[in-house]
Homo-oligomer: A and B are copies of this chain.
Amino acid sequence: MADRYDPTPRTRIRRLPKRASYDHAAVHAVLDAGVLCHVGYVIDGQPYVTPTLYWRHGQRLYWHGSSASRMLRHLKDGVRVCVTVSHLDGLVLARSGFHSSVNYRSVMALGTARLVPEEDKAGVLEDFVERLLPGRWPELRPVTRQELKATTVLWMELQEVSAKIRTGMPIDDAEDYELPVWAGVVPLAAQIGAPQPDPRLDPGTPLPAYLQEVARRGLLQRCGGAAGQER
């Protein structure tokens, strides 16, 4: 298997190409560091962008919910989508507005969304929960056939994909470095807070190991670890 997605005219990054990457490792690292994606699709010529949870398994991206599901019920051949994942890592403050920027990691995946068939849904949803909070799925009240029916799960092949990443300090015009303007990076990151138990939870219920882990390491770091491994 190639370790790189072939850039196409649609995914080749023309603006600031030095920020681009098509390597599986780089793309998967960005995907596995997140939980929320933005799915783009078209109805009657109008684009729509729906935020939703996603997860990756090998060369497949999965998400569930309503985003393209109404369309998909009528279109057996699938729906053209763009799934974008982005992490805003910092404000990059240069000595001029023009060279100011942001640090970020993003992935854009173009392709065709398809429905996960009924018989595969339970396994795919288990995979989702276990990647996020390993050990939680077996604790949950088991999913019913009716609930599975009511859940739309979509997937697309990772094939036409690019990553775009900016890191580091501002790059100013040579003559601007002498100006007395504060320059640098203001870091931004997704942070996890202390788990808040449901008031209706029996106070004797212990905090599960996977939530202790999350509280210690942060959710997204967790995702970027084990969930990033191919299985």
Contacts and interface: CB of A to CB of B under 8 A. Distances in A.
Interface of A: 10, 15, 35-36, 38-42, 45-51, 53, 66, 80-84, 86, 88, 90-91, 93, 95-98, 100, 102, 104, 106, 108, 110, 125, 129, 132-133, 136-137, 139-141, 143-144, 147, 150-151, 169-170, 176-177, 179-202, 205-208, 211, 214, 219
A83 B48 CA distance: 8
A144 to B, nearest CB: 8
A201 B182 contact: yes
23 contacts: A35-B88, A38-B38, A38-B49, A40-B40, A40-B82, A46-B80, A47-B80, A48-B82, A49-B82, A50-B84, A51-B84, A51-B106, A93-B133, A93-B136, A96-B143, A97-B129, A98-B147, A180-B202, A181-B205, A182-B206, A185-B195, A186-B192, A188-B191
Given A182-B197, A183-B198, A97 B137 contact: yes
B198 A187 contact: no
Given A90-B193, A184-B195, 13 more contacts: A40-B47, A49-B83, A49-B108, A50-B84, A51-B84, A51-B88, A53-B102, A91-B132, A93-B133, A98-B147, A185-B195, A188-B192, A191-B191
